[in-house]
Structure 1
Amino acid sequence: MYLNQHEIRSRLDTSFDNFVDFVNTLPDIRFTASPYGKWSAGQQLDHLTKSIRPVSSALGFPKITLRYFGTSAIPSRSYDQLVTDYQRVLNNGAKATRAYQPGVIYPAQRTALVQGFLLQKKKLTDKLQAWSENELDRYRLPHPLLGKINIREMLYYIAHHNEHHLSKLKDQELQGHTWQNQLQQLIF
């Protein structure tokens, strides 16, 4: 499915809002604790913000400077194809590079992390307005796991990446009762 700019903006809005809505329902212990050695909700929020920030900045650069990364002569992949390609890379063992890995997160950081995440959403959607449909397909940016992809595909990636991490959090919550019971056994 090929998404136009309006559809991309809608998908981005939904992915950001759903993530924030879910994170805001979690108690502090579930926001900061890392069950089973996985990233906590706060760490996932930090990771998402770190991965979006360079893209939201790049969308504001003069387009001539983006030629440094080359231009694309081929059409954009569909949203579904990009998701399939990204999942294949993950299934082959790819992990977040060091620059995008989160640090330790504390409960007091929740508000700032959520605000920073939503600020990146606003920057992305505001800057997206200055791009034509053709420019979204033409200019490219580097992705640490997918290589150079065009702007449209990068926006697809951001929407999917948010959804991917939300799904991981929801899966952790389904296992939460077991994890919470283990934590209580350790404490008491």
Structure 2
Amino acid sequence: MYTFSEIKIALSESLAKVEQFIQTVSPATLHAKPTAKWSIAEELFHLISSDMGSAQAFSQSASTLRETRHSLRNYNEIVAEYREKYAMGGIVIPTHLVPDEETHNRQQMQFLDDFSRAASTLQQSLSTWTEDILDLFTVWKHPLLGPVTAREMLFFTIFHNRHHLASMQAKQTYLENNAKM
């Protein structure tokens, strides 16, 4: 998963799997909090906001971006660095990515519509990017990873979708198993 074509396929798959998952979430599990961490609804809000942020980053014209000044990292390096720094603590999630009070009033279909729109916007935002410029420009400064190129941002976005999907699936399984008791 290193060429732009392979990355776009992996991104599309990660987005489709989240979309499919949203369709399986029952009203009883959507807002339930099995742990002190976020509910499925809160994770969906965070994921939708994050994917829209990625779309915004890719909507910028390359001519307005800074040239990359760091060594390039592959998918596995992005994931390992993120996990290492996350485990050390100290991440401050930007406020626009933190669930708000309105999140608690939203239902499954609203999340599905918003996620579908975010996924579509993100994929459309890649239309002006090409393989030969993915590593040339810094598109964002991640709170833990620092400056990231377009390719690194795509790696992170794929990982981030997969990470939150696994977390939401675990919460769903836990809630469904404990509701039957």
Same fold at TM > 0.5: yes
Match of 2:115 among 111, 114, 117: 117
Q: Does residue 78 in structure 1 map to residue 74 in structure 2?
A: yes
- Map 1:48-127; keep pairs closer than 5 Å: 48-67=47-66, 71-74=67-70, 76-93=72-89, 94=91, 96-104=93-101, 105-106=103-104, 108-127=106-125
Name the count of aligned residue pairs.
178
Counterpart Cα distance in 1 of 2:110 and 2:172: 23
- Map 1:151-166; keep pairs closer than 5 Å: 151-166=150-165
What is the SS of the residue equivalent to 1:24?
helix
What is the SS of the residue equivalent to 2:129?
coil
Residues 75-111 of structure 1, C-alpha deviations (whole Å, 9 max, x = no match): 5311111111111122112353333111243464322
Q: Which amino acid aligns with 2:96?
A: A
Contact 1:47–1:100, Cα closer than 8 Å, also in 2: yes
Residues 20-56 of structure 1, C-alpha deviations (whole Å, 9 max, x = no match): 2112111112011122222111111110111122221
What is the SS of the residue equivalent to 1:148?
strand
Contact 1:75–1:137, Cα closer than 8 Å, also in 2: no
Gaps of 5+ in 1: 183-188
Greater CA radius of gyration, 1 or 2?
Answer: 1
Deviation at residue 181 of structure 1 after TM alignment:
6.4
Counterpart Cα distance in 2 of 1:175 and 1:49: 23
Q: Which residue of 1 aligns with 2:12?
A: 13
Contact 2:25–2:172, Cα closer than 8 Å, also in 1: no
TM-score by length of 1: 0.84
Q: Does residue 174 in structure 1 map to residue 170 in structure 2?
A: no
Gaps of 5+ in 2: none
